[in-house]
Amino acid sequence: MILKINHKAQVIATYSQRMIVRTVNGEHFNARIKGKNLRPVCGDWVLIESIKNENEKLITKISVRNNELSRINTRGKREILAANINLLIIVIAVHPEPDWYVVDRYISTAENMGIKAVIVFNKIDLDKKNNKAIDFIQDYKKIGYQTIKCSVKENSNLDKICQIVENKTAILVGQSGVGKSSIINKTTNNILKISEISVVSGQGKHTTANSMMFDLPNKGKLIDSPGIRDFITYAESFSEIISGYKEIKLHGVDCKFHNCRHLREPDCAVKYAVLKGKITNHRYNSFKRLINILKNLKKIN
């Protein structure tokens, strides 16, 4: 009898049905999935098997995940983007102009995953005079989120990004064109250049096809992800939505009703905090907006 030897490996890149995996010894292999039910994502630990007379490996099992980065896709279904992440880096830029509602939804996802979210504000070379985005940045600092202003073009503050990723697995998220792949190219010693893992989109512009993990010299791992224009948080309940907005959760403990939704209830400490300026109008509107989006998608009632 021939014993099949299973090896442990991590998925470091995904291209729909195909993956690149890296074994614990640092060997890279192309791999495909055994059967139709496995859905490995970047960051997954998997078991791989050799296939007779082929270089490609077969992924036979996905290890239990520490966490999952999910969103609701355009068809209203839950989609897992990556797994086993311990830092979410939300990249925004002077251009294209930030969508702060989307920033909030990424933050709420990180809060519910139990991981830290950091806001990286790239391309500051394009706006030396500090535009209104800087005020927003201050608001997020006040809530307790670390923010880093940087420029890939001028190579400024990229070392700060490397520092926070040390010994961690971080994913760069944010809309298309903010500079996620550029940050990766400048900070990692990746062998593959971004152009090789990109496809040319309709506009003739290079867009990252799928997620891919790169190593930093300090044992940090950075995952590049394709730009998503309208990221929608995956949440199943009001309490999850509330947990995603940490200052709302904090003030909410003083509401009259323990299950207050902070919408139309009397004696709501959250609405009072908004009136007093302790919670910004933007963040409260963002919270209500997310509730409406999820209600329309029938994810909560």
Quote the least distance from Cβ 248 to Zn ion, whole Å. 8
Quote the least distance from Cβ 210 to Mg ion, whole Å. 10
Contact residues: Mg ion, CB under 5 A: 180-181, 208
Residue with the closest Cβ to ligand GTP? 227
Q: Determine contact, residues 219/57, Cβ cutoff 8 Å.
A: no
Instruction: Specify the residue for token string 């940090």.
Output: 220
Q: Compute the distance between CA of residue 179 and CA of residue 183 in angstroms, rounded to an integer.
A: 6
Quote the least distance from Cβ 118 to ligand GTP, whole Å. 16
51 Cβ contact list (under 8 Å, min separation 6): 57, 58
Q: Determine contact, residues 48/60, Cβ cutoff 8 Å.
A: yes
Read off the amino acid at residue 128. Answer: K
Q: Determine contact, residues 62/41, Cβ cutoff 8 Å.
A: no
Q: Which does 182 bind (CB under 5 to 8 A by kind): Zn ion, Mg ion, ligand GTP, none?
A: ligand GTP
Instruction: Specify the residue for token string 């990746």.
Output: 190
Q: State the binding string over 262-281 for Zn ion (x if CB under 5 A, else -).
A: x-----x-x-----------
Residue closer to ligand GTP by CB (options 109, 208) is 208
Contact residues: ligand GTP, CB under 6 A: 122-123, 125-126, 151-153, 176-182, 207-208, 226-227
Residue closer to Mg ion by CB (options 194, 250) is 194
Residue (of 166, 269, 292, 262) closest to 222 by Cα position? 166
Quote the least distance from Cβ 149 to ligand GTP, whole Å. 10
Contacts with Zn ion by CB under 5 A lie at 255, 260, 262, 268, 270
